[in-house]
Amino acid sequence: MKHIFLTVLITISLDAACQLPDQTIRDLKAERIKDDTSYIYRLPYPASERHLFVQGANSKFSHRSELAFDFKMKEGSHICAVRNGEVIAIKEDSNQGGLKNEYLNDGNHIIVRHDDGSLAHYWHLKQNGVFVKVGDRVEKGQKIGLSGNTGYSAFAHLHFKLIDKYGNEILPRFQTKKGPRYLRPGKWYKAVTD
Ligand SMILES: [Zn+2]
């Protein structure tokens, strides 16, 4: 009796699994649908601005094993928060920059802690180019600073990195004109609101 009951249960659940539309089943088989519930970040500059994404996660040039993102941005471009959070660190007194190890600690920056404990790092900002102070709440899309070329940096750009609350680097997806996307180097991305 117990055995029959189990068989019926299994049959019912198999049947339920077959209620998916044919197209969905084809997509799943072709791996076209990926179940992605990760947070969708705003690009780190004002809506309708476009910037070139020059360097991706794990690239060989300067990031090596780091999951960091470089957006080529003329010095003085606005940088916006990618998500709501609280400012936990800033530096804006440096005017030094270049590809020398002695500049490693000279990068002006902002670090924001999001409500899920993750941290966003915005690096190489212009001298006196930080609009927020430690303890400030920032909103997604809010202008928080100006891009620059301070610290270990070859050209004016924003170096952006995300770390989860356990200290692991996160590969984020961003809202783009075509929907949420993982960014590809060498492409221009226009910031859009959600
Ligand atoms: Zn970088």
State the distance from the centre of ligand 1 to the C-alpha of 98, rounded, in angstroms: 12
Task: Return the higher-pLDDT residue of 64 and 113.
Answer: 113
Summarised one tens digit per residue, pLDDT across range 121-139 is 999 999 999 999 999 999 9
Q: What percent of the chain has pLDDT over 70?
A: 81
- Contacting residues for 70 by C-beta, under 8 A, at least 6 apart: 53, 54, 55, 157, 158, 159, 160
- Cα 151 to ligand 1 centroid, rounded to whole Å: 10
Considering the entire predicted model, what is its pTM? 0.80
With tokens 């100006």, the residue in question is 146
> Cα of 75 to ligand 1 centre, how many Å?
15
Confidence of residue 44 (pLDDT cuts 50, 70, 90): very high
Secondary structure (3-state) at 52: strand
* The CATH number fitting domain 40-190, selected from 1.10.760.10, 3.40.630.30, 2.70.70.10, 3.40.47.10: 2.70.70.10
Q: Lowest mean pLDDT: which of 42-46, 107-111, 178-182?
A: 178-182
Q: What is the pLDDT of residue 4?
A: 56
- CA–centroid distance, 84 to ligand 1, in Å, is 23
More confident residue, 152 or 68: 152
Tell me which of 110-119, 125-134, 160-169 is least confident.
160-169
Q: How far apart are the C-alpha atoms of 24 and 190, rounded to whole Å?
A: 30
* pLDDT band with cut points at 50, 70 and 90 for residue 8: very low
Q: What are the C-alpha distances in Å from 112 to residues 27, 135, 190?
A: 38, 9, 22
The residue type found at 166 is: Y
Centre of ligand 1 to C-alpha 62, Å, is 7
pLDDT bracket for residue 17 (50, 70, 90): very low
Q: What is the DSSP string of 25-51?
A: HHHHHTT--------EEPPSS-TT-EE
Q: Which positions are annotated as active-site residues?
A: 157
